[in-house]
Structure 1
Amino acid sequence: MTTAPPVPAFKPVTDRPWAALLALCVGFFMILVDMSIVAVAQPQIMAALDADVNGIVWVTSAYLLTYAVPLLIAGRLGDKIGPKKVYQAGLVIFTAASVWCGLSDTIGELILARGLQGIGAALITPQTLALITRIFPPERRGAAMGVWGTVAGVATLVGPLLGGILTDSLGWEWIFFVNLPVGIIGLLLAAVLVPTVETHDHRFDWVGVVLSAVGLSALVFGIQEGESYHWAPWIWVLIASGVVVLVLFVWWQARTEGEPLVPLSLFRDRNFSISNVGITAMGFAVSGSMIPIMFFLQLVGGMSPMRSALVMVPMAVITGVLAPIVGRVLDRVRPRNIVALGLFGYGVATFWAGFIFRPETPVWQLVLPTILMGVASAGIWAPLAATATRNLPWHQAGAGAGVYNTTRVVGSVVGAAAIGALMMSRLAANLPGVDTQNRGPEAHQLPEFAREGFARAMGESIYLGAAVLFVGAAVTLFLADSRGQRGTDSPGPQSSSAPRPVDV
């Protein structure tokens, strides 16, 4: 009979854990706000930099691509040289890249700067959770994670509103320049308040990093550029090559001994595997749909960035109100009842929004699907994250959370590319020969003759997100009932107070 390994005794590393958490939340808040703040300003960026729709999609895809690839190895890098150092390095890179974004004169330069931003975000994200588990004892981590989750919710609400205010009053550049003072404050707070913790040596699977980067980049480039090159044969070869390289990546992970990037043994747990499918679907739909939604509200509806952001506020508010309630009932019901219903509801809301995207649709009707999105979101983000790692052995919980978050970001980058490609295809079909690119320094409402076709193209493009959500909902119906269960080698009662990984 084997016994579980003893639980390492917690060693305090600071006498100011809450102050350290405050410092970490500054950087975490900054990168979360940046994910939503950019979406509001995209029509203005397209006009100011004389870009086309494909270029604007790349502004999002470049960030997500360079965010996804280093995410798994960044956590181990923090373990090896210290999470504080890696966190500070990520802040420096992210802040410097933000300034570069604001100073960009061409869409190509902005795409490069956004790619550098993604690398900074990938360095920051894993260190926040790692440091929380090192700073707080098990019995206080739940409260700390509650603060961390609240910061994520507030960032979701603040991002679009701040983006609207800055874009309307100062210009799109300031959605990036605002990160400079925040980044400097975050660096100073981290230097003073965040403790230096013990490090551990790690081996790095550089072959896995290269394979994942090449495969994902080829797949995303092929999908997103397909319409621009009329789906030439070499585009299909590129997409197929990306898939082959990703399959090779999985094979390499299976044969890698020691520390693979993705421990495939995690996927033996049914709920972990299914939860990853669910979060991939959610990442795909949410990230991919933001561009057509904002384009419709501003270029067809004639809304200012601020007003278009206000349309999305009910979703964030309702999610924030309902999420704690859902959290309290999650342990008392089957997870599939909440998660599958949430994904199905978000899919219905997305399809509903696409169906009513018409120039004559009143604003109050546009708000209704966002309310349903808010209700559905409360049953998706936290419940899926909790279900994913609930049954994993305690020593695999960190690796499971890292893989889960990477899966979400991969879903996001593929979704942005796929929905962006469909958006360009539907624009070509609904407005043949019509140039819908905004000219001049500011975005403006499209001429009346182009609005109907443009609105239909935006609505039809987000149907893809709805379809993927319906598939995710069907798959999550197979989630097993895990109420009252823990990992098979859980270290006992002390582990029950440790936080469940939270989706970032």
Structure 2
Amino acid sequence: MRGPRPVRHGKDAASGDGRGQGVESASRRPGEFGILLALAFAAFMTCLDNTVVNVALPRIQQSLRLDLPDLEWVAAAYPLTFAALLLTGGRSADIWGRRPTLLTGLALFTAASLLCGLARSGPVLIAFRGLQGVGAALVMPASLAVLARDLGPRARAAGIAVWMSALALALALGPVLGGLISQHWGWGWIFAINVPFGVLAAVTVARALPRGGRTVPGRGLVRAVALAGRFDPLGTGLSCLAAGACAFGLIEGVRLGLVPAVAVFAASALALALFVWRQHAARTPMVDLTLFRDRVFAGGLAAQVLWGLGVNGVLFLTALFLQRVLGLTPTEAGLAFTPVALFLILATPLVPVLVRVLGAHRACAGGLLTVAAGLLALARVGAGASPLDLLPGLVAIGAGSALTVPLTERTLDASPDEVSGATSGVVSAAREFAGLLGIAVLGAIVAHRQNTESDSKGASAAFVEGYQSGLLVASVFVAIGAVVAAVSLRPAPLAESRKNDG
């Protein structure tokens, strides 16, 4: 997915602060390579943590003796805190400064990764996975802000390429690394490999990134209070409560029972309503709600959420299916996922051509329908299948997902330049929350089947039926996303007439 468009305005533009481009280039060029290197490390490790864990989940479950809901928390704790605090992380980069926010995030993420690797119980691992998400929520927006503000025009273009390459590499290598490491070294090492990347990134940032001027005057406690006043702790708390309660209700619903689960969902809905009210009332809101009045922004965001809800949950469950049902080793299961990343990378260069020929709305809708078809193909795979039987579905998911790239581009382009940072935060948070919902919703379907049918059909058969049901539900979500994309990204009649006149 494409990152946010780096934008500069006024005195912050590439021409500098009025003293000329030459001054900026001379002062920043020596550290630009180091900054690019740090951004690559940061992008790689934060994305890798979303992909490397899935294949290792069966080993984690066996080692720590976790049931399915606890295993869902291991997978979901990271995207939960990541999504809930992304907007706060972006605000921190604006108020506290890009350099301290990025260094703090790298330190948190690196330390939490080490502690995850040393965890020997489910609750401890889940807690430190959540702390990883806190660190990533600081790293991601601060990295994008550095990309937009601390690099010259040429280095900024290179930075976008480096950033996207690092994300693609993490997507491709994550399942394979997760399988190899968990099988031959032990699952704890899948988290420990983040430590050298985090240390290198922090050292590089500290040396290469210039110290920014203070945004808030004063020192010590006075400055800390002034900084805190520029955040929105109530809005942050409400957003965390809404996301956390929703995830808790979905993951723990089977164990809670109907009435407590409904109460939890009601609390989540109330927190979400209060969060929206807070954004209307706050002097410095975390989210500009007027963005959602734009058809392209709202529709593009909804389509991305529906895609993420379907695909992320399936990848979580397929990792369990490959090892628990088909009997693959972690390494073999990791290799089985490579068609998704490979065909996503191979199909991406074709996307601009298809957008020019078909239009973004048709290209994205076609991509989402291709993903939905891939999910349906996977749903036909049963317990007696071979890994090759999954190949058509995985190829369709990867190639179709490549065609959804314009969703991010059109969503970001729909917002004014002066709020591009806030828009990027909303898009990133929605994408992470969609992954969390996918794990929770489809995991709840499997848990329900296991809870009601394990005694009569056996645990393995109940899991397979739940897995297939989850795939069918996921395909419906993605197909709805195709309809939303086709409608919301369709060019406006006025825009089309102006184009024809030109």
User: TM-score, normalising length from structure 2?
Assistant: 0.88
Task: Name 1:9's counterpart in structure 2.
Answer: 13
Q: What are structure 1's unaligned runs of at least 5 residues?
A: 435-448, 487-504
Q: CA deviation at 1:144?
A: 2.4
**CA shift digits 1:247-290 (9 cap, x unpaired):** 12112212323x21110111122111101101111221222222
Task: Name 1:283's counterpart in structure 2.
Answer: 308
Task: Name 2:103's counterpart in structure 1.
Answer: 88
Task: Name 1:22's counterpart in structure 2.
Answer: 37
Q: Which of 158, 162, 165 is the aligned partner of 2:177?
A: 162
> 1:79 touches 1:199 (CA, 8 Å); kept in 2?
no
Task: Name 2:402's counterpart in structure 1.
Answer: 378
* Separation of aligned partners in 2, 1:136 and 1:375: 33
**CA shift digits 1:53-96 (9 cap, x unpaired):** 11000111211111111100111211222212111111111111
User: Which of 474-483 and 411-420 deviates more?
Assistant: 474-483
1:317-356 counterparts in 2 under 5 A?
Answer: 317-327=342-352, 329-330=354-355, 333-356=358-381
Task: Name 1:413's counterpart in structure 2.
Answer: 436
* Separation of aligned partners in 2, 1:229 and 1:336: 42
Q: Which of 244, 250, 254 is the aligned partner of 1:223?
A: 250
**CA shift digits 1:134-159 (9 cap, x unpaired):** 12334653342122111111110011
Task: Name 2:274's counterpart in structure 1.
Answer: 248
* Separation of aligned partners in 2, 1:58 and 1:433: 27
Q: CA deviation at 1:481?
A: 4.3
- What is the aligned length? 464
SS in 1 for 2:104: helix
Specify whether residues 433 and 177 from structure 1 end up closer, same or farther in structure 2 by C-alpha distance, changes over 3 A only. Answer: farther
> 2:116 touches 2:191 (CA, 8 Å); kept in 1?
yes
Q: What are structure 2's unaligned runs of at least 5 residues?
A: 1-8, 17-23, 217-226, 496-502
Task: Name 2:240's counterpart in structure 1.
Answer: 213
SS in 2 for 1:318: helix
> 1:23 touches 1:194 (CA, 8 Å); kept in 2?
no
Question: Could you tell me which amino acid in structure 1 is paired with residue 239 of structure 2?
Answer: S
* Separation of aligned partners in 1, 2:199 and 2:442: 36
> 1:57 touches 1:420 (CA, 8 Å); kept in 2?
yes
* Separation of aligned partners in 2, 1:29 and 1:247: 35
* Separation of aligned partners in 1, 2:52 and 2:386: 25
Task: Name 1:399's counterpart in structure 2.
Answer: 422
Task: Name 1:454's counterpart in structure 2.
Answer: 463
Task: Name 1:369's counterpart in structure 2.
Answer: 393
Specify whether residues 31 and 6 from structure 1 end up closer, same or farther in structure 2 by C-alpha distance, changes over 3 A only. Answer: closer
* Separation of aligned partners in 1, 2:403 and 2:150: 30
Question: Could you tell me which amino acid in structure 2 is paired with residue 341 of structure 1?
Answer: G
* Separation of aligned partners in 2, 1:155 and 1:396: 29
Counterpart check, 1:103 vs 2:123: no
Q: CA deviation at 1:384?
A: 0.9
Q: CA deviation at 1:415?
A: 2.0
Q: Which of 158, 173, 188 is the aligned partner of 1:173?
A: 188
Task: Name 1:442's counterpart in structure 2.
Answer: none
Counterpart check, 1:42 vs 2:57: yes
User: Which of 40-49 and 137-146 deviates more?
Assistant: 137-146
Task: Name 1:441's counterpart in structure 2.
Answer: none
Task: Name 1:466's counterpart in structure 2.
Answer: 475
Counterpart check, 1:272 vs 2:297: yes
* Separation of aligned partners in 2, 1:252 and 1:335: 34
Specify whether residues 219 and 451 from structure 1 end up closer, same or farther in structure 2 by C-alpha distance, changes over 3 A only. Answer: closer
SS in 2 for 1:250: helix
Q: % of aligned pairs identical?
A: 30
State the Cα RMSD in Å.
2.2
Q: CA deviation at 1:370?
A: 0.5
Q: Which of 205, 213, 238 is the aligned partner of 2:264?
A: 238
> 1:351 touches 1:462 (CA, 8 Å); kept in 2?
yes
* Separation of aligned partners in 2, 1:8 and 1:454: 56
Task: Name 1:185's counterpart in structure 2.
Answer: 200
Specify whether residues 138 and 273 from structure 1 end up closer, same or farther in structure 2 by C-alpha distance, changes over 3 A only. Answer: farther
**CA shift digits 1:424-469 (9 cap, x unpaired):** 01222342278xxxxxxxxxxxxxx654433222222232222211
Q: CA deviation at 1:212?
A: 0.9
Q: CA deviation at 1:291?
A: 2.2
> 1:430 touches 1:457 (CA, 8 Å); kept in 2?
no
Question: Could you tell me which amino acid in structure 2 is paired with residue 80 of structure 1?
Answer: I
Specify whether residues 174 and 149 from structure 1 end up closer, same or farther in structure 2 by C-alpha distance, changes over 3 A only. Answer: same
* Separation of aligned partners in 1, 2:342 and 2:154: 29
